[in-house]
Structure 1
Amino acid sequence: MELLRLSRQSAKRRRVSLMVRKIATRTGWMILIWLGSVLALLAVSALLRWLMTLAGLHS
């Protein structure tokens, strides 16, 4: 490491940075999956409401 004049501390920081990036990516995916499920639930409920209106069951 000294031949390249890199300190060990910077490697540690890079590792932490990669860990933070990995956690941020994972959190982003979880939010995206949650948002997709909420939108799917909204679409299904709108479809059921529309079908109930067509059948005359909903005012």
Structure 2
Amino acid sequence: MTKLEQIEKTVSELSPEEFERFSAWFEALQAERWDRDLAEDAGSGALDEIAEFALAEFRSNRTRPL
């Protein structure tokens, strides 16, 4: 059994209360990783071209309110 299969089995056997706690923890972990990856991409300049395009569209009034 792989590590992932072991995790899946363990998670499927959690009580409802334990599953809620696990879900909250996992969601926080995903958010933390997302934030870290986004900060790294922004810091490395990987998003500069996309940001410039969006700003150019905004300045040219080719955007709409959300």
Q: TM-score, normalised by structure 1?
A: 0.53
The letter of the residue matching 1:56 is G
In the aligned structure 1, how far is the partner of 2:17 from the partner of 2:36? Answer: 29
Gaps of 5+ in 2: 1-14, 52-66
Letter in 2 for 1:36: W
SS of equivalent to 1:57: coil
Encode CA deviations 1:26-58: one digit per residue, 9 max, x unaligned: 211101001111110000000000000000112
Would you say how many aligned residue pairs link Structure 1 and Structure 2?
34
Query: When the two structures are superposed, what TM-score results if normalisation uses the length of structure 2?
Result: 0.48
SS at match of 2:46: coil
Instruction: Look up the match of 1:34.
Output: 23
Identity %: 3
Aligned AA (2:24) = L
Partners of 1:28 and 1:48 in 2: CA distance? 30
More helix by share: 1
**Uncovered stretches (5+) of structure 1, i.e. residues with no partner:** 1-25
Tell me, in whole angstroms, the C-alpha distance in 1 between the residues paired with 2:37 and 2:19: 27
1:52 and 2:41 are equivalent in the alignment: yes
